[in-house]
């Protein structure tokens, strides 16, 4: 990389940023079990430790395990997906006893989130509460979160997505919005940089040393399923100078999701080629596997998967980073999950295309929740060895040299949200209510929620696919 002073001189744009002494917060992330990036959280006046909280740009709610979950019976589905009894899960991830916190505020609101639309087998339910939370150098006096008394999903999760994507159609200041509300940052925006063993979140700022070239600003496409999809215009798989496939996409989309360790792609590009080199497809996990060290595995390692965002930014992912070795059976698995979908079309209501952690490690992404825009560039090589170059994100997120995306505005029909009236509808001091809906009741009906018709009922990840993610993570873990 060029020296920092020369690199800055050559940048062809200005972000209209204030001095780095302004309001921003850095959060260091740890990659656990080669499957997800997490932080340690401290909740309540007595700072009860939650050992492992997944950082997820693909959801919007913060939830942790309630103490009552630890002593409850473990269902077959919970044991199958989590591989732990409820008591063991509390020992591994940590739990919260609201009776021990003097600052806890109970609410009369139930918490329910299902990560998709197809069934309710992978869901989290409990009650909403509010309390002080500390993560790294970030301390917030009042954070609204879910206390899970039933869950078939682990680990606990800190969602950083838009407020329009919150569980049950709620509208409250989630973690990044609460940071602005309490004066820790000036703009509800953050930058994400992931490495092989650790990552970094900058709330309210950008670190220019973390990327190569120029950031491209692109709008978040307002699909009815919510989330933060951006325009995907090309996907290619190359082997040196030759191309295995190179598909230009009309109105494609993809989610840049830190809560997902795998990246699904349509089967038509992979099926014949992978099988030709000896890879075997597993219908249950929807991915390919092969004996580690075989010629077919070595051949695929030379490939590069390329995603083109909004016609300009190309994120290149060495395929060797998308191979996971499972020592117990001596096999190598591709973290590309192959789906039955045959198109990336934006109009499709069935395809879900995610850029998971394996892709995000090769990208630098700035998420601006206030302007409903992302800024993306290829990640810098060895960025952890370079000097920081941090600048504060401006309120208008202005990048004068950015690509004009006016032709994409037909998909950008929802006004950016505000947080003027967000917060718990009612709170009181004391412990959380233990009355929760059963996870078998399905998604919330219109009479149970005040959500607008154009706001999703739950996360973008379909439950069948989320179940795959959980199963695959646990398979790699064990």
Could you give the CA distance from residue 428 to residue 446 in angstroms, rounded to a whole number?
26
CATH architecture of 25-184: Beta Barrel (2.40)
Side-by-side strand order, sheet with 331-334: 280-282, 287-291, 331-334, 323-326
Could you tell me the two tokens for 338?
């192959």
Q: Which has the minimum average pLDDT: 74-88, 361-375, 422-436?
A: 422-436
Could you tell me the two tokens for 86?
């409820």
Q: Which has the minimum average pLDDT: 42-56, 320-334, 337-351?
A: 337-351
Report the half-sphere exposure of 257 (CA within 13 A, side-chain side).
26
Interval 254-259 mean pLDDT: 90
Residue 145 dihedral angles phi and psi, to the nearest 5°: -150, 165
What is the CB neighbour count within 10 angstroms for residue 381? 10
Q: What pLDDT sits at residue 261? A: 83
Whether 57 shows a pLDDT value over 50: the answer reads: yes
Cis peptide before 13 (omega within 30 of 0): no
Specify the DSSP class assigned to residue 18. Answer: -
Q: What pLDDT sits at residue 21? A: 56
The terminus-to-terminus CA distance of the chain in angstroms comes to 38
CA angle in degrees (0–180, nearest 5) for 5-6-9:
90
Percent of the chain past pLDDT 90, that is, above it, reads 39
Query: Would you call 329 a catalytic residue per the annotation?
Result: no
Could you tell me the two tokens for 153?
């999903």
Chain-centre distance of CA 115, in angstroms?
Answer: 12
pLDDT winner (highest mean) among 9-13, 55-59, 307-311:
55-59
Whether 83 shows a pLDDT value over 60: the answer reads: yes
User: Closest Cα to residue 79, out of 157, 154, 147, 156?
Assistant: 154
Torsion angle in degrees (nearest 10) through CA of 358, 361, 363, 369: 90
Could you give the CA distance from residue 162 to residue 58 in angstroms, rounded to a whole number?
9
Chain-centre distance of CA 196, in angstroms?
Answer: 16
Q: How confident is the model at residue 117 (pLDDT cuts 50, 70, 90)?
A: very low
Q: Residue for token digits 């997944």?
A: 54
* DSSP structure string for 123-149: EEEEEEEEEEEEETTEEEEEEEEEEEE
List the catalytic residue out of 61, 168, 257, 357. Answer: 257
Q: What pLDDT sits at residue 433? A: 40
To the nearest 5 percent, what fractions of the chain are helix, strand and coil? Answer: 20, 35, 45
Of 124 and 410, the structure prediction assigns the larger pLDDT to 124
Whether 102 shows a pLDDT value over 90: the answer reads: yes
Distances (CA, A) of 49 to 168, 362, 418: 27, 32, 32
Residue ranges of domains in the chain: 25-184, 208-383+405-411
CATH T-level assignment (fold) for domain 208-383+405-411: Cathepsin D, subunit A; domain 1 (2.40.70)
Q: What pLDDT sits at residue 10? A: 33
Q: What pLDDT sits at residue 218? A: 86
Q: Which has the minimum average pLDDT: 185-199, 350-364, 392-406, 430-444?
A: 430-444
Query: Would you call 56 a catalytic residue per the annotation?
Result: yes
- Name residues whose C-beta falls within 8 Å of residue 217's C-beta, 6 or more positions apart in sequence: 373, 374, 375, 397, 399, 402, 403, 405
Distances (CA, A) of 36 to 71, 164, 196, 329, 373: 27, 24, 11, 22, 24
How does pLDDT run across 398-454, given as a tens digit for each residue? 765 555 555 555 555 444 444 444 455 445 555 444 333 333 333 332 233 332 223
User: Closest Cα to residue 158, out of 170, 142, 173, 174?
Assistant: 174
Q: Are 169 and 457 in contact (CB under 8 A)?
A: yes
Q: Do domains 25-184 and 208-383+405-411 have the same CATH topology?
A: yes
Could you give the CA distance from residue 419 to residue 56 in angstroms, rounded to a whole number?
21
Distances (CA, A) of 247 to 265, 266, 269, 305: 12, 11, 9, 12
Phi-psi region of 240 (alpha: psi -120 to 50; beta: other; left: phi over 0): left
Q: What pLDDT sits at residue 449? A: 33
List the catalytic residue out of 46, 56, 272, 404. Answer: 56
Could you give the CA distance from residue 303 to residue 317 in angstroms, rounded to a whole number?
9
How does pLDDT run across 214-226, given as a tens digit for each residue? 888 888 876 655 6
Could you give the CA distance from residue 161 to residue 438 in angstroms, rounded to a whole number?
25
Q: Are 278 and 342 in contact (CB under 8 A)?
A: no
């Amino acid at each position: 990389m060029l020296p920092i002073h020369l690199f800055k001189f050559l940048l062809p744009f200005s972000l209209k940023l204030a001095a780095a002494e302004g309001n921003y917060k850095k959060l260091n992330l740890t990659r656990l079990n080669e499957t997800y990036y997490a932080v340690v959280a401290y909740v309540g006046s007595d700072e009860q430790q939650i050992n492992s909280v997944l950082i997820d740009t693909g959801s919007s709610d913060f939830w942790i395990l309630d103490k009552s979950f630890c002593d409850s019976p473990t269902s077959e589905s919970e044991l199958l997906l989590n591989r732990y009894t409820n008591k063991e899960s509390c020992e591994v991830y940590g739990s919260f006893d609201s009776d021990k916190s003097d600052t806890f505020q109970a609410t009369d609101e139930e918490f329910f989130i299902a990560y998709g639309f197809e069934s309710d087998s992978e869901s989290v339910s409990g009650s909403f509460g509010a309390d002080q939370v500390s993560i790294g150098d970030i301390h917030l006096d009042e954070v609204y979160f879910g206390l899970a008394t039933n869950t078939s999903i682990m680990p606990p999760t800190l969602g950083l997505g838009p407020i329009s994507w919150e569980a049950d159609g709620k509208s409250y200041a989630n973690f990044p919005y609460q940071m602005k509300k309490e004066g820790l940052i000036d703009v509800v925006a953050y930058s994400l940089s992931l490495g092989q063993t650790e990552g970094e979140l900058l709330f309210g700022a950008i670190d220019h040393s973390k990327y190569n070239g120029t950031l491209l600003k692109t709008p978040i496409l307002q699909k009815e399923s919510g989330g933060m999809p951006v325009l995907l215009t090309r996907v290619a798989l190359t082997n040196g100078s030759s191309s295995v496939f190179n598909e230009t996409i009309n109105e494609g989309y993809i989610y840049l999701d830190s809560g997902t360790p795998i990246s699904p792609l349509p089967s038509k590009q992979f099926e014949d080629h992978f099988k030709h080199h000896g890879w075997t497809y597993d219908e249950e996990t929807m991915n390919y596997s092969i004996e580690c060290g075989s010629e077919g595995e070595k051949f695929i390692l030379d490939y590069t998967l390329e995603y083109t965002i909004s016609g300009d930014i190309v994120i290149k992912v060495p395929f060797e980073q998308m191979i996971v070795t499972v020592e117990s059976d001596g096999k190598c698995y591709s973290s590309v999950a192959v789906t039955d979908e045959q198109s990336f079309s934006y109009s499709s209501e069935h395809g879900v295309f995610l850029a998971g952690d394996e892709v995000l490690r090769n990208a630098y992404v700035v998420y601006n929740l206030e302007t409903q825009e992302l800024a993306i560039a290829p990640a810098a090589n060895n960025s952890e060895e370079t000097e920081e170059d941090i600048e504060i994100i401006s309120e208008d997120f202005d990048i004068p040299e950015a690509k004009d995306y006016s032709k994409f505005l037909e998909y950008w029909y929802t006004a950016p949200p505000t947080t003027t009236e967000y917060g718990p509808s009612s709170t009181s001091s004391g412990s959380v209510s233990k009355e929760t809906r059963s996870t078998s009741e399905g998604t919330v009906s219109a009479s149970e929620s005040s959500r607008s018709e154009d706001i999703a009922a739950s996360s973008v990840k379909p439950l069948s696919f989320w179940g795959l993610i959980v199963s695959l993570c646990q398979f790699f873990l064990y």
